[in-house]
Every structure is written in structure tokens, then in C-alpha cells.
Amino acid sequence: MKTEVLPEGVLAQRQEGVYSISPRVALGRITPDQLNIINSVVQEFGLPGVRVTAGQRLKLQGVPAQRLDEILRRLGPVGQFCKYYVQACSGTSACRLAMQDALAMGAKLEEFLNTFSLPAKIKAGVSGCSMCCSESFVRDIGLVGKKHGWSVVFGGNAGKRVRVGDELAANLDDEEALRVIGAALGFYVREAKMRERTARFVERVGVEAIRESVG
Ligand code: SF4
């Protein structure tokens, strides 16, 4: 069977010739202008609606093949795909329980991750406190805001083989946390097999090897 090459952010649906598009919703935030664009596309093209995914993304479903290019053009920058998606909670911008600014750190992390070319997809979750609303312990990279800084978690997964990530370091400021993540990812890039997710990688090489790599 021939594999269809689709633009980033586009997925084939179960029905033949029908696609879904995940517009860019960085850190779960969306502006009124972006909402207007999405709304006008949904209405104009008679799409069945928009679904919110578990990872804070929007999904335009029921896109017919013959309108796919046109709809992507209309979405413009909103339709751009995030290379490595970062999920973040509202943190100190809104939540009374927050210990750290999860949105600001999430933006830094997304920019940082985009400098890597990784062997498999990764998901990241930044939570402003130990309640972990961004599911930081079941993401490839997790950050948890504590009173004295960030805890860095690595190797979590919420898929069919669930794995709770391992804490690599704690009480870090933003730059220190990025340094630890960068060191762990550098080791992962050097040692992982193609398409080996971090959870399976940690199981194979052992968490102590990861901890040694971050110093
Ligand atoms: S993780 Fe903490 S700071 Fe973030 S939304 Fe949940 S309770 Fe608030």
C-alpha cells in the first residue's frame, strides 16, 4: 500500500478522501483573530466543526481532499504546525495554586526544542505546580513548578505502554532547567534508535545513564 505524504498538521481520517487539520494553538492560547479565521473557514467550507484534543490542540475535521489546499491557505499562519508540541497550564498568569510561570517557561521550551532534530516525536508538558494539570509525568519532557524552581522529568508516556517519567533534577531556574533538558536530549539524540520514544529509551539504557549525561 502506498503511503500518502501529507502536509504537517494534516491527518487522513477513517473515511477515504477526508482529512483533519490541527491548527497551531501554541501553549493552548488562541487570539480572537485566530478564532475568527478558524470560525470563518469552518462556516464557509461547511466543515462539521472543531474538536479540542487532549493535548490542547484544535482539530478541524471533515476536510474533503479537493478543498484541503485551499483551506490550508486560508488558515495561513494559524495552520502552521508545531514541530515539537508543548502543553502548558496557565501557571502564575491565572492560577492561584501556581508556583511558577508555566506559560512563559512553555514558550521558552518550545523555542528551545525547535533547535533539535530528534529521532522520534516528543511531547512536553509544563505545569505551574505539583497538581500537574499539564500531565508532566506522562510526557517525554515534563516540567513541574515548585516553590524553589522547576523539576525536570524525562521519559514519561501516556500511550499504550504507560510510563511515569523520572525526575532528573529539581529546584532549577528557567535557564538551568533548559540546560538539563538540552543535555538529556543530546544524549537521547546520540544513543537512541530511530523512532525510539524517550520512555522506551530510558527503559533500555537505564535512568542512571540519563542522569549521568546531565551532570
Ligand atoms: S498545574 Fe497547578 S498551576 Fe497549573 S493549572 Fe494546575 S493547579 Fe494551576
In this structure, what CATH number is given to the domain that contains residue 105? 3.30.413.10
Q: For 113-134, how does the pLDDT look when each residue is reduced to its tens digit (9 = 90+)?
A: 999 999 999 999 999 999 999 9
Pocket test for ligand 1, best of 133, 134, 139, 150 (most atoms within 8 A of CB): 133
192 part of a folded domain? yes
Predicted local distance difference test score (pLDDT) of residue 79: 56
Q: Pick from 79, 88, 82, 85: which is nearest to 34 by CA?
A: 79
134 part of a folded domain? yes
* Residue at a domain's end among 79, 100, 124: 79
Ligand 1 atom with the shortest distance to the CA of 102: 4
54 shares its domain with 90: no
Predicted local distance difference test score (pLDDT) of residue 26: 83
Query: How many other CB atoms sit within 10 Å of the CB of residue 211?
Result: 16
Q: Give ligand 1 pocket residues (Cβ under 6 A).
A: 89-91, 95, 97-98, 102, 127-129, 131-133
5 part of a folded domain? no
70 shares its domain with 96: no
Q: How far is the CA of 6 from the centre of ligand 1 (A)?
A: 36
Range of the domain at 69: 10-79
Ligand 1 atom with the shortest distance to the CA of 91: 3
64 shares its domain with 95: no
Give the domain CATH number at 37. Answer: 3.30.70
208 part of a folded domain? yes
121 shares its domain with 68: no
73 shares its domain with 119: no
187 part of a folded domain? yes
Phi, then psi, of 106 in degrees rounded to 5: -60, -40
> What's the structural domain count of the chain?
2
94 shares its domain with 140: yes
158 shares its domain with 62: no
Predicted local distance difference test score (pLDDT) of residue 83: 77
Sheet with 58-64: strands ordered across: 10-12, 18-21, 58-64, 50-52
42 part of a folded domain? yes
* Residue at a domain's end among 53, 79, 105: 79
Residues with pLDDT less than 50, the chain? none
CA nearest ligand 1 atom 6, residue: 133
Q: How far is the CA of 152 from the centre of ligand 1 (A)?
A: 16
Predicted local distance difference test score (pLDDT) of residue 81: 64
- In contact, 44 and 82? CB cutoff 8 Å: no
14 shares its domain with 70: yes
Q: How far is the CA of 13 from the centre of ligand 1 (A)?
A: 33
CA nearest ligand 1 atom 2, residue: 129
115 shares its domain with 206: yes
97 shares its domain with 189: yes
Q: How far is the CA of 11 from the centre of ligand 1 (A)?
A: 31
Q: How far is the CA of 97 from the centre of ligand 1 (A)?
A: 6
Length in residues, the chain: 215
Query: Which uninterrupted H or E stretch holds 44?
Result: helix 32-44
- What gap in Å lies between CA 145 and CA 124, rounded to an integer? 14
